[in-house]
Amino acid sequence: MSYATILDLQNILPEKITIGTVNIGTPTPGRQVTQRSSMTPDQARRFIEYAQQYVDARLRPMYVCPLRRINSYETPLEAAVSPGSRVTITVRDTGSFNYNQMVRLQDKNGYENATILSVTNFTTFVVDRLNASYELATGKVVILEYPDPIPIITARLACAFCLDRLYVSQQSPDTSSYAVAQRNQARAELENVLTGEALLFGQDFTGRRFIRGSLIDAYRTPADIFQKGQEKE
């Protein structure tokens, strides 16, 4: 799975740049002009993949890549859950749950993943679909996500790659100032990780030897030779 979603990318892109399947020949009801999507979902996923490759390449001296999703938060169920579509989940507090998050429902009998469609109120939220029931006694719900700030870094880089491609075909010079700003912000956040100012929670470190690094060598980071801010455009 990618470090960022198409929704993450769309939230970073300027409003006029859209992701969809509408081509130039598809009219929009109620409008006199046709609306064309700037890119398809497959193209958006490709830009996200390019951004993920960049992030992995920068983090490999310090972390095992590709990174893995972690259990960032878990809470017990407050009511039994039945299978179906648009299932309502009841917990003690929904403050940590947000739209489009991946969650895992589990109890002593098994588990499955689902996506949050909406947060209804302070104690309930709705997921897209469940194939099994989960009991109250041992049931719990877990948030699965990549550690901060990986999703926003990936979305910013994917946004910059996308804007470079769109901008060069329409404007001169061939560099978008917004794309440059997004790249610089992403690089600054990556620098914070590489210099130890930010920690990727739940990830494995890389050592200098082919054994557990903490037994012989101290973990080495690129901070020794890395000058913060040197790659700004």
Higher pLDDT, 219 or 63: 63
User: Average pLDDT for residues 146-167, to the nearest whole number?
Assistant: 91
Residue 160 pLDDT grade (very low, low, confident, very high; cuts 50, 70, 90): very high
pTM of the predicted structure, to 2 decimals: 0.79
Domains of the chain from N-terminus onward: 39-67+148-224 (no CATH), 70-145 (2.40.10)
Residue 223 has pLDDT above 80, yes or no: no
Token couple for 217: 């060598």
Q: In the chain, what percentage of residues exceed pLDDT 70?
A: 78
Structure confidence by residue, pLDDT tens digits, 68-92: 999 999 999 999 999 999 999 999 9
4-18, 151-165, 219-233: lowest mean pLDDT where?
A: 219-233
Question: What does the alpha-carbon distance between residue 131 and residue 98 come to, in Å, rounded to a whole number?
Answer: 22
What per-residue confidence (pLDDT) applies to 72? 92
Residue 34 pLDDT grade (very low, low, confident, very high; cuts 50, 70, 90): very low
User: Average pLDDT for residues 33-49, to the nearest whole number?
Assistant: 80
